Every structure is written in structure tokens, then in C-alpha cells.
Amino acid sequence: MSARPDTQPTEATPGRLPLFHFVGFTGHRELADPESTATAIRGALAWLRDEVPGEWIALSSVARGSDQLFVREARAAGHTWHAILPLSRAEFARDFDAAEWRAVEDMLATADNVRVVHEYGDREDGYLDCGIETANDADVLLAVWDGDRARGKGGTADVVQYAKSIGKPILVIDPATGGIRRENWERLEPRDAVLEALNALPEVPGGGGENPFDAPEAVVRFQHKCDHHATQGAPHFRRLILATVLSHVVATVIATATVAYALHQLALPWAKLLLVVFALVAALILRRRLHSRRSWVRCRLAAEFCRSALAAWGLPRAAPLLQDLDLLGGARRLTRALHVLHTRSSAGRALPIDEFKRTYLERRIDDQVAYFDRQVDRALPAYRRLMAGFWVANVLAIACIASYAVTKTLGIPVAGWAGQTAFVFLQISLPVVAASLISIISINDLERRVARYREMRALLAANRAQVAACLTWNSLEHIVLKTERALLQEVIEWHSLRSFGESPS
């Protein structure tokens, strides 16, 4: 295998997000033949880049020996590098003499992102956790390993064994021979169907909308088109479910009226038949449109992830907003692309803190407060009307049933039309109507939505005051991430209800 010429990092094209892969690294500090190992690393990186579409990003610590060798080879091959450190810089520096640490700091200055696993705590645990997190975040783990047991806690053998246990694809380089073998390679996911489907959505004319923090145009347009297709493509499942419920209720009322009043018009059985058939057709449409439902959910989820990322784009660094969001359903590569692009665009950019605060308050928090106000104004009256109807129907049903029991017990005569209405028609119809009203509340999730919207409105009001009072970037970043995660939690909860509330096919 031969290395390809150096390449520049992948740039996103308008309305499309790039596909990024991480190649994590673990290896021994002491190497008998560093040149042979460097050649093997170079060949493995070239092979990954040639065989797997997308951009590969190097992920490793920077301990002496194999780690530093890997970083140099990755950088020389044109890969960007994300550093992951086992300890704080001050603690990590104790592993090096002064000259070595200056070289490490020079190397860290070239990293696109630096993450510290353990700010405090046991030293050996920090090294083990660093290796574990490298394996967790990597799509492929590249290991320089002689096959022996670990010489200390957190050694290469421990990391490799952990990666094997979770089914991580591994490339193992033998430091003695330079040979490479693959393990768990069938678990490699070279493509991402969800990101490909989102990228393939037709572009929306008219640009990408507001971009107050000067985010890459590709991200803004991607968010805009996902939001547009989610809005336009909503399959209105609730309306179809409501249609089936109401059709059955009306059919039941017609059947009850037929029995109660001895109605034998020819149109009534045909009306009942049409209503039941309509309900069946609506149920079949619901079943057949599960694919469009999934597409709608995917677009809405992507649009909201992008919206939160864009709201935080003006922060001085790419804060860890989306890294821990690894949803079932394929959000991992999407959130990764947003984080990597944010990391690259935030380097060297300075924005006055007051400008960020003003923009964030006006265009994010105030906008979301207005949104939840509108949702409460829509959901609360509907909830109150439906609950009022439910209680009225129940009380009337109880009154009819009680009247029937009393008149029959005491032998009180009742006029024909009154008895037919109260003791047959209403006694059967009212419980059905009450059940349908509470079902509509449940289908539309009105009670939870009203409570959740009020909770979110109160949280945003509190967070708004904190944002306005923040005087430093660190405190501001903390409250912005807290706000965005609360908003994303609402989206994730919605995603779970929509994705896993479907009937099994």
C-alpha cells in the first residue's frame, strides 16, 4: 500500500454536510523499529483513505513513542487531528522533561480540538479512560501492539481488548514485523444512509435564511432545506388517526339512533358502511406511509440539531453540545459533521461577547419563548374544550343510566320518545363520545404538551436572565449549552415518541 498525496480537509458543499470518520490510535511507548512502524502507519492511513469514502480524522493522545509517531504521520498525510489527553495539561506535562513538553505543546497547537478526559483523579485511571474514550469515538482503532499483556493499567493491550469486546473494527500493526491484520472488519460502516438521504434532499430556492454568527453557508442551507422538507412533508398522522376515531364514533351514533328510533331509511346503513370503510382506508394509509413518517422525523431531527448548533456557533470554541448525542436512528454522523465543521470555523474567530449575547437573546431565546407561547395558546384551549366535553358526556351518561335504573326500579312510566332518547340513544352514545374525546386528548398528547410548553417557557425565562447577566465567555458557554440541551431534550423526546411509537410491521 502506498500513501496518496497530501490533501486538504473536506469542505462542505452548499446544502450538504461531509461524511467524517475517526481513526483512533493506541500504541506502545517503546518501539524497537520506529521507522518500520511509521511505514506501517502510513500505509494503513493511506489504505483507509483510498477504500472508505469520506474524510478520515486522526484521534489520539500525544504520549511519547507510538502516539507522537502516529500524529506526525497523520499530519504529514494531510489528516486533521483531534487530541485526547488522559490528564490536565499540568499533570500530563509531568510525563515529559522540559524539552519534550515544549515539543508536545508545539504538536498540540496543530490539533483542531483538544479534549481532556480526567481533570482530576487517579493517574492510571486517566490513561485507561483515555484509551477507552478513543476506542468509543473511533470508527476504526489503529493499534501498534505486540500481542503481549499490558505492562500497566491503561496499556495498549487493555485498550485493544476493550475495543474487541465492543466490536470495534481494529487494524493491528505488529511493531516487530510491520505487518497489519484486521479484526471485526465486518462491523465497519463506510457509509451513512441517513446523512446520504438528508444530503440528497432537493435544494430549497432562496438561500439559507439568517446567519448571524457567520456559520458556513453549507450548514445554514442544509438546516434550511431539512426544515423546509420537514414542514412540507409532515404526513399529518394525527389527523388520520383522528379521522378513524371520529368515523367510528359517528358510525356508532348512527347505529344507536337506528335502534333507538327504529329508523329504517335506506341511506343510514350506507352511511355507516362508508364511515367504517373510510376508517379502514385511513388505517391502511397510516400503515403504508410509515416510510414518509420516518423521513419526516429524520428531517425534523436534523433541522433542530442544526438549529441548536447554529445558535451556539458564535461561541469562541466548538463547545461539546452534540458529541454525546448518539441516537438510535442515525444521528451520529450528522452531529459529528456539525461539531467538526464548527471546530474548524471557530478557529481564530473573535466575536464581542455583548454582540453574541444580544443576538442569542433576540434570535434564539426570545424566538423560542414566542414559539412555546404560541403552542400553549393553541394546545390549552383545545385541551380545555375536550376535557369539558368529556366531563359533560360522562355526567350526562351517568344521569341517563341512573334515571333508567330509578324508573325501572320504581316502575315509573316514561314517554316513548324520552325513554328512547335517554335510555337507549344517549345511554349508548354518550360513553362512546366521552371515550373518543379522551382518546383525542391522548392522540394529540395535549396534557403533556401544555405542561411541557409551560415548563420550557419558564426555563427559558430563567436562562434569559442568566445570559443577560453573564460577563465571561466560560459562564456564558455554560448557560448556552444548558439552554440548547434543554431544547434538544424536547426534540429527542419527540423523536423517541415518533420513532418507537410505531406499530411493528
Q: Residue 23: what are its φ and ψ, rounded to 5°?
A: -105, 110
Lookup: cell for 94: 509531568
The pLDDT confidence band at residue 263, using thresholds 50, 70 and 90, is confident
Cα–Cα distance measured from residue 370 to residue 311, given in angstroms and rounded to the nearest whole number: 16
- Contact at 8 Å (CB) between 137 and 164? no
H-type alpha helices, 411-472: 416-420, 426-443, 446-469
Alpha-carbon span 256 to 259, nearest angstrom: 5
Give how far Cα 358 sits from Cα of 456, 461, 462, Å: 20, 15, 16
Looking at this protein, which amino acid is placed at residue 477?
E
In a domain, 341, yes or no: no
Average of per-residue pLDDT across 88-100 = 92
Please determine, for residue 329, whether its predicted confidence score (pLDDT) is greater than 90. Answer: no
pLDDT score of 145: 92
Last residue of a domain, one of 167, 190, 213: 190
With a cut of 80, say whether residue 64 has pLDDT above it: yes
| Residue 252 CB-half CA count within 13 A | 19
* pLDDT over 60 (residue 191): yes
Predicted confidence at residue 504, as pLDDT, reads 42
Please enumerate, as own/partner, the contacts of 413-421 that have beta carbons within 8 Å and a separation of 24 or more.
Answer: 420/260, 420/261, 421/260
Q: Is residue 304 situated within a structural domain?
A: no
CA pair distance 467, 465, nearest whole angstrom: 6
User: Is 70 exceeded by the pLDDT of residue 71?
Assistant: yes
Number of domains in the chain: 2
Predicted confidence band of residue 40 (pLDDT cuts 50, 70, 90): very high
* CATH code for position 51: 3.40.50.450
Phi, psi values for residue 115, rounded to 5°: -120, 135
Chosen domain end from 127, 155, 190: 190
- The answer to whether residue 342 sits within a structural domain is no
Q: Give domain status of residue 87, yes or no.
A: yes
493 vs 367 pLDDT, higher one = 367
Phi and psi torsions of 205, nearest 5°: -65, 155
Identify whether 444 is part of a domain: yes
Query: Does position 14 have pLDDT exceeding 80, yes or no?
Result: no
User: 3-state DSSP call for residue 277?
Assistant: helix
Residue 54 region by backbone torsions, left for phi larger than 0, else alpha for psi between -120 and 50, else beta? left
Residue 368's pLDDT is what? 94
What band does 434 get if pLDDT is binned at 50, 70 and 90? Answer: very high
Beta bridge partners of 113: 82
**At 1, is the pLDDT very low, low, confident or very high (cuts 50, 70, 90)?**
very low
Cell 457509509 belongs to residue: 191
Query: Could you give the C-alpha distances from 94 to 17, 64, 100, 101, 102, in angstroms and in order?
Result: 40, 12, 10, 9, 12
Task: List 73's β-bridge partners, or say none.
Answer: none
Decide: helix, strand or coil at residue 139.
coil
Residue 502: the pLDDT is 47
Domain range holding 35? 20-190
Q: How confident is the model at residue 130 (pLDDT cuts 50, 70, 90)?
A: very high
Residues linked to residue 140 through DSSP beta bridges, in sequence order: 23
Determine which of 88-102, 120-134, 278-292, 332-346 has the lowest per-residue pLDDT on average: 278-292
What percent of the chain is predicted at pLDDT more than 70? 89
User: Is it the case that residue 146 has pLDDT exceeding 70?
Assistant: yes
Which of 163, 190, 217 is the last residue before a domain boundary?
190
Q: Residue 488: inside a domain, yes or no?
A: no
What DSSP character marks residue 83? E
Residue 346 is predicted with a pLDDT of: 73
What is the β-pairing status of strands 180-183 and 170-173? Answer: antiparallel
Asked if the structure places residue 478 within a domain, the reply is no
Write out pLDDT tens, residues 273-319. Answer: 898 888 888 877 767 665 667 788 888 889 999 999 999 998 888 87
Return the higher-pLDDT residue of 493 and 430. Answer: 430
Average predicted confidence (pLDDT) for the chain: 87
Tens digit of each residue's pLDDT (9 = 90 or more) over 383-418: 999 999 999 999 999 999 999 899 888 888 887 888
Enter the C-alpha cell of residue 150: 499490558
Q: Residue 418's pLDDT is what?
A: 83
- Quick one: average pLDDT of 12-25? 89
**Average pLDDT value for residue range 424-451:** 89
Residue 137 lies in a domain: yes
Query: What's the confidence (pLDDT) of residue 30?
Result: 87
Over residues 98-102, the mean pLDDT reads 94
